[in-house]
Each structure stands twice: as C-alpha cells, then as structure tokens.
Amino acid sequence: MQSFKIADREFKSRLFTGTGKFKNSQLMKEALEASESELVTVALKRVDAGDANDQILKHLNHQRIHLLPNTSGVRTAKEAVFAAQLAREALETNWIKLEIHPDPKYLMPDPIETLKATEELAKLGFIVLPYIHADPVLCKRLEDAGTSAVMPLGSPIGSNKGLKTIDFLEIIIDQANVPVIVDAGIGAPSDAAKAMEIGADACLVNTAIAVSDNPVQMAIAFKMAIEAGRMAYEAKLASPVNHALASSPLTAFLDEL
C-alpha cells in the first residue's frame, strides 16, 4: 500500500482518528494504538494545554502520533484564526483542522467563513485541513487559497450514515490536487473501505470507533477496511456493467476472416 503526503509529512496509515466520546482516556489510548493512526485530532476546547497531566494530551504523547488540533466551537473566520494561533502556541504545531460550524445542531460547516479562514491561515504559515461539505467547487477554491488537504463530509458528523455524498466525493477526488480525507458520517468499516475504493486518500473516524462496544476491536476493523479499500483502489477495480459479457463475442469471427 502506497504511503501519502500532506504538506511535507508522509503517512503510512490512511486512517485518521479523533479523541472524543470515549468512555475513558485509557480506552481512547488503546483504541488509537490499535488503529495505528498517525494523525489524531483533538478539540482545543476539551484540553488544558497548560496542564502536563491533561487526561487527553497525556495519552497522545506518542512518537508515532501527529497531533491535529481542531477549532471546534468557533463560529467565524476571525475566531478560527485566533484559535489556530493559540493552538499553535499551546500545542507547538502549525497543523490545524479548521472547523467552523456556526450551526450547533447539525454542525454543518460554513463554506464562506472556512474559505476566508483558510486564506488567512495559509498566509500565516499554517498547514490547513478544512472540514467542509462535499462541495467540488469549494474544494477548488480552497486549493487556490492554499489549503494542504480537504476534508469533505460523508454525512452529518456523528450520524454513522455513511457516504451519502458519494457522487460529490467522486467529483472532488477526480479534480483534486491536494489529498482528500473523508471526514464525518463514516459509520461502518465498509463505509471507510468504499471511500478508499473510490480514491480518497484517507478517512477520519471517531464516533464509530469511540461508541462501539469494543473500541479497540473496532479500530482494528477500520484499519483493515481502509487497507483493503486502498489496496483495491491501487489494484484497480473492475468496472461494473449492466449487461453480461459473452465469453464468445459475437464479433470474434471477424478476426478469423
């Protein structure tokens, strides 16, 4: 399975994970280890960056894990830029998962504010990974603005509804010049495998792992599904057809003439 790069960092694992909704920090740690994920997102609002004993950060202090703070909670581009700067200072990383969802009910990302913030943060030297709706035009605009990847949703955050946006994800992947990470809504390993089969570079999974009865086992299931999906993509899937292909073609006689 090929590795891939975001900005100048290479990733072997294409499974990105989150830190929310686990029963406890120890279980979170065990699930993240089992996932072999190299990029783990953490909400700035949930951690106390100044506390060396912070229950979440303490468990993420692992050589393999690259920390991706997110701006969850902000409602505007200006708030996001401020939060990103604080995260950079507190967590010593210029990587930021840009989440601007002024709608607290469905947590739908605001495309206009996200574009504005990406432009600003890219200028400030951030590696920006914006969480967005599966909007192909927005993805191209974000590329122009200097984004390092795009993170379109499969379905609403935490819904476990799978790839409801698959038609648009395919267009995004087809047109992309930056990595495409399917984020939000992935509920089953088969959803993740499907995302990889259509050519996504990675998937971010949190709820489906964290709230399962056995998060460690589920993390392994996702790891395997993502590997399987990627391998299938690299091996090139046979195209589906609606009619049978005769093993003795009707025009074969032409070759014998």
Partner 1 sequence: MSFKRIFDTYTWDEVKASIYGKTSADVERALQKTERNIEDFKALISPAAAPYLEQMARMSHELTLQRFGNTMQLYAPLYLSNECQNICTYCGFSLDNKIRRKTLNEVEINKEVQALKELGFQHVLLVTGEANQTVGVDYIEKALKQIRPHFANLSMEVQPLDQEDYERLIPQGLHSVLVYQETYHKEDYKKHHPKGKKSNFDYRLETPDRLGRAGIHKMGLGALIGLEDWRVDSFFVALHLDYLERMYWKTKYSISFPRLRPFSGGLEPKVEMVDRELVQLICAYRIFNQEIELSLSTRETNTFRNHAIKLGITTMSAGSKTNPGGYAVEPQSLEQFEISDDRSPQTIQNMLIQNGYEPVWKDWDLALETAHSML
Instruction: State the sign of the Cα–Cα–Cα–Cα dihedral 86, 91, 96, 98.
Output: negative
**Residue 20 near partner 1 by CB under 8 A:** yes
Measure Cα distances from 46 to 20, 186, 207, 217 in Å: 9, 22, 16, 25
Choose among 177, 232, 179, 224: nearest CA to 205: 224
Q: Would residue 23 show up in a list of annotated catalytic residues for this protein?
A: no
**Residue 74 near partner 1 by CB under 8 A:** yes
Closest approach, Cβ 215 to partner 1, in A, equals 9
141, with CB counted inside 10 A (0-12, 13-18, 19+), is middle
182: its two tokens: 């399917």
**Residue 5 near partner 1 by CB under 8 A:** no
Closest approach, Cβ 218 to partner 1, in A, equals 13
Closest approach, Cβ 142 to partner 1, in A, equals 22
The answer to the question of whether 184 is labelled as a binding residue is yes
**Out of 4, 133, 141, 160, the residue judged to bind partner 1 by CB under 8 A:** 160
**Residue 50 near partner 1 by CB under 8 A:** no
The answer to the question of whether 117 is labelled as a binding residue is no
Nearer to partner 1, 82 or 123 (CB): 82
Choose among 12, 9, 4, 37: nearest CA to 215: 37
In the Cβ-directed half-sphere of 60, how many Cα atoms lie within 13 Å? 24
Could you tell me if residue 73 is left (phi over 0), alpha (psi between -120 and 50 degrees) or otherwise beta?
left
**Out of 1, 4, 30, 86, the residue judged to bind partner 1 by CB under 8 A:** 86
**Residue 159 near partner 1 by CB under 8 A:** yes
**Out of 5, 9, 12, 78, the residue judged to bind partner 1 by CB under 8 A:** 78
54, with CB counted inside 10 A (0-12, 13-18, 19+), is middle
Nearer to partner 1, 80 or 149 (CB): 80
**Out of 5, 10, 103, 112, the residue judged to bind partner 1 by CB under 8 A:** 103
Q: Residue 38 gets which letter from DSSP?
A: S
Active centre residues (catalytic): 97
Q: Which residues bind partner 1 (CB under 8 A)?
A: 20-25, 44-48, 73-76, 78-79, 82-83, 86, 102-106, 158-160, 207, 210-211
Known binding site for 1-deoxy-D-xylulose 5-phosphate: residues? Answer: 158, 184-185, 206-207
